Structure 1
Amino acid sequence: MSEGIRVAAVEDVEPGEALVLPQELTGTEQPISLFRDDDGTYYALDDTCSHEDASLAEGWVEAGEVECPLHATRFCLSTGEPMCLPATRPVATHRLEVRDGDVYLYPGTPHTA
């Protein structure tokens, strides 16, 4: 998958928002969400909170973190690590590339800073 999968146009996700990507598109067993931080940076994480079954895309995105809407665990968008309890396990990150106005996903390839 050297070219990546086109998952969105840059304008499809506003800063501070997220988009759940269809599993039919990503080819993954778990849902992946595309996040756009308030500074405009894009990130991709597994969508399901590692604490309980909640969609992280429904959470709040701000300052490099997403807050789970169920129990308020914040996850680092860059590493997937939980920043506070109740979650103790990270969620997987996925590499993204923005080129020519589109966002490309490399599912299963971790994001690197």
Structure 2
Amino acid sequence: MRRKLKVGEIGELDHGQMKRIFIEDEDEDEEAVALINLDGHYFAISDTCTHEAASLSEGKILGDVVECPHHGARFDLKTGAALSLPAVRPVKTYPVVIEGLDIFIELEE
């Protein structure tokens, strides 16, 4: 079962921008998520690089890829796949749902 969590509104992020948000996961631990706007398409991924735990929302957007600001590891925004070293493990992705002007991510319960 999934639950929806509102994480923003359309218009808060310009094209190519991202922001860090904090959510509670299924174990009630706080987790950082990066919300990204690519030309009106929104993506949500874990904000923590799988290489050395840097904040991906402080990195760069390169097409549909985010680059970690610390060592340059790159991740696919759609799948979370690690695309370049030093990262070898993917980041978690979250389904994004738009309802009216509200942006939600879906979380497992």
TM-score range, shorter chain: 0.7 to 0.9
Do 2:71 and 2:86's aligned partners in 1 also have CA atoms closer than 8 Å?
yes
Percent identical pairs in the alignment equals 34
Q: CA deviation at 1:102?
A: 1.2
Count of aligned pairs = 105
Q: Describe the shift of the 1:95–1:68 C-alpha distance in structure 2 as closer, same or farther (beyond 3 A).
A: same
Q: CA deviation at 1:107?
A: 2.4
Equivalent residue for 2:99?
99
- What runs of 5+ residues in structure 1 fail to find an aligned partner? none
Do 2:76 and 2:83's aligned partners in 1 also have CA atoms closer than 8 Å?
yes
Name the aligned partner's letter for residue 47 of structure 1: D
Name the aligned partner's letter for residue 71 of structure 1: H
Aligned runs of 1:70-89 on 2, under 5 Å? 70-89=70-89
Name the aligned partner's letter for residue 27 of structure 1: E
Equivalent residue for 1:14?
14
Query: Would you identify which runs of 4 or more consecutive aligned residues in structure 1 move more than 2 Å?
Result: none
1:37-67 per-residue CA deviation (whole Å, 9 max, x = no partner) reads 2x33110001000001200000111311100
TM norm structure 1: 0.84
Q: Alignment partner of 1:4: what SS?
A: strand
- What runs of 5+ residues in structure 2 fail to find an aligned partner? none
TM norm structure 2: 0.87
Greater RCO structure (CA 8 Å; 6+ sep): 2
For the aligned residue pairs, the C-alpha RMSD in angstroms reads: 1.7
Name the aligned partner's letter for residue 58 of structure 2: E
